[in-house]
Amino acid sequence: MKAATKSRGTTARLVAIRELIRTRVIATQDELRRLLAREGHDVTQGTLSRDLARMRARRAALPEGGMAYELPDASAADAPNGLASLREVVVRVTETGALVVVHTLPGMASAVALGIDRARLPPVVGTIAGDDTVFIAIGKSRDSRSLSRQLDTLWKKGSRR
């Protein structure tokens, strides 16, 4: 019976962590621990660290400066305002080795770059958008072909090399 109680406590704590990270800017584990304590979840730093790792939470730079925890969103690419909704404005995807280049309709590159940034795709380091072209910087050049194929499949464009 104690294991079931512990499991429910863990589940409730993980739900609370997810909600706090998604609704607030949380810069440190200590800040998150204090917020959890206010909600009745007394947790050690070690347990919190393991919870964050389990959830694949990471600290990311904020546009206005500083850092905050964020969670990966597996459905971001398929969300109504995510990458899938950009299918009509993408002309083609090209893999160049060090970069993935997305060609768009004129004036649409910024919207596509924003969608890619919000999707938080693991190999993507960042994007640069012009008027009709998005350059996607990849952490490791060997991941560029995989990302190119992933975007190609999502947008069903037929990548050109």
Residues 20-57 have pLDDT tens digits of 988 888 999 999 999 999 999 999 999 999 999 988 89
| Parent domain of 89 | 76-155
| Residue 160 within a domain | no
Residues 80 and 146 placed together within one structural domain of the fold: yes
Residues 142 and 83 placed together within one structural domain of the fold: yes
pTM of the predicted model, to two decimals? 0.50
Q: How far apart are CA 109 and CA 102, in angstroms?
A: 8
Q: How far apart are CA 54 and CA 22, in angstroms?
A: 16
| Residue 100 within a domain | yes
Q: How many CB atoms lie within 10 A of CB 102?
A: 30
Contact 85, 152 (CB under 8 A): no
Q: Using one digit for the tens of pLDDT, what is the confidence trace for 121-157?
A: 878 889 999 999 999 998 877 788 888 888 888 887 6
Contacts of 124 (CB under 8 A, 6+ apart): 116, 117, 136, 137, 138, 139, 147
Residues 27 and 98 placed together within one structural domain of the fold: no
Looking up residue 12, the CATH number of its domain turns out to be 1.10.10.10
